[in-house]
Amino acid sequence: MSAVEPYDAVDVIRAKRDGHPVDEAALRWMIDAYTREYVTDAQMAAFAMAVLLNGMERDEIRVMTEAMIASGERMSFATLPKTTVDKHSTGGVGDKITLPLAPLVAAFGVAVPQLSGRGLGHTGGTLDKLESIPGWRAALTNDEMFAQLDSIGAVICAAGSGLAPADKRLYALRDVTGTVEAIPLIASSIMSKKIAEGTAALVLDVKYGSGAFMRDVDRARELARTMVALGTDSGVATTALLTDMNSPLGLAIGNANEVRESVEVLAGGGPADVVELTVALAREMLALAGQPDADVEAALADGRAMDVWRRMIIAQDGDPDAPLPKARETHTVTAPRDGYVTRLDALPFGVAAWRLGAGRARPQDPVVHAAGIDLHAKPGDRVAAGAPLFTLSAQDDARFARALDALEGSWEIGDAAPAASARVLERITA
């Protein structure tokens, strides 16, 4: 005889539908029962839509996050002789910051456990980028991860399936029920995984603009504040930077070309906006780790960060000296007239790179590591008629037409340079 359930999913749905807070015990039960498949997908979809329409109070979001963490394993880095600090980005176009950031922070004796994911749609995945490197391996055992954090200080690898399995089910459901945009659900999804990872401190890079998950800056700010509160309430020192994703980050959009650009940053060069954001996030992470005065620019300039990068890649069976994949076909778009680049919309460039093969339409699809876009000019740059603006790369030139369709109307050349804007808009703390 099956056990009697203490709550009814319909009562929980009705409470949220009618704008009432859900009792803590009932909310914990709802997440647990959904993980056990007692609560159906249809019931959880109705609940998610009620949350989208009516929101959640801070305590409700905390309870739901804790329930999602409790659905799986929780890691602990307490035995490591180093402070741990992690970073999470809400994703964008050309966002390769994790690659130079993890070894840069680790160069200061801090452990950086970056459990990362793969791309879907127009935002690239960190693991897809690193798999451009011949031999590099994303899957590590917990023992391998701990050993690497102890000896090298930085690890970028795939998250195990045991972390917050309730979130995995709910995330897939949100994707097909029009409830992806619900801020309480986004916040609890991200933070349940990050808190379950066991890091002592966390810095969030919350993006807004054309190529971001949150286009509206006020909604991005609300998401950042919600996640900072969740981390703080769970005992994880958490801060967030609100950053601009209206134009692509850096000059490379893809996989292999983003690795190439990351290595340029680690060698003391690279595009100014990538360096600016890498340095800003490194300072935040090191401040939370007790090193507010760390000279992060010096660690890029003197090769310390590059040394950690090479050791990190080799530890995961990659060859840091091997040539990266190059595409068979390229197509360059040139400036139709003299002037200044006034606009490069991030989203169409992300979609174009995806159509070239740099992304995947379904989770099981492979990515083409050599495919992508290289920008030759950014907003504010002066260009002459006939000068290259950007180059598309693909293994098959049949892909260029649809990529160019995506880019129609996505860039402009004008007579005056646009006002300069910083990548980091504001810093959000508890």
Question: Out of 87, 118, 193, 207, which one is annotated catalytic?
Answer: 193
Task: Determine the Cα angle at 102 with ends 290 and 156, to 5°.
Answer: 125
The answer to whether residue 189 is catalytic is yes
Q: What angle do CA 253, 259, 264 make, to 5 degrees?
A: 105
Q: CA torsion, points 113, 94, 312, 153, in degrees to nearest 10?
A: -30
Dihedral pair phi/psi, residue 137, rounded to 5°: -120, 125
Structure tokens at 372: 């992508």
What is the four-CA torsion angle of 121, 122, 127, 129, rounded to 10 degrees? 140
CA–CA distance, 72 with 163 (Å, rounded to integer)? 5
Helix/strand/coil percentages in the chain, nearest 5:
45, 15, 40
Catalytic residue among 28, 87, 88, 399: 88
Active-site annotation holder among 174, 194, 283, 423: 174
Q: What is the distance between the terminal CA atoms of the chain, rounded to a whole angstrom?
A: 48
Lookup: tokens for 197: 């990872």
SS3 state at 81: coil
SS3 assignment, position 202 = strand
Q: Which of 86, 95, 128, 167 is catalytic?
A: 167
Structure tokens at 414: 């004008």
Active site residue 167: yes
Is 88 within 8 Å of 193 (Cβ atoms)? no
Burial 263-277 (b: 16+ CB within 10 A, else e): bbbbeeebbebbbeb
Distance CA 227, CA 61 (A): 10
Residue 132 contacts residue 255 (beta carbons within 8 Å) = yes
Number of H helices, E strands in the chain: 16, 13
Of 132, 189, 210, 247, catalytic: 189
Rounded to whole angstroms, the Cα distance separating 245 from 202 reads 21
Tokens encoding 65: 């996050």
Instruction: Give catalytic residue positions.
Output: 88, 167, 174, 189, 193
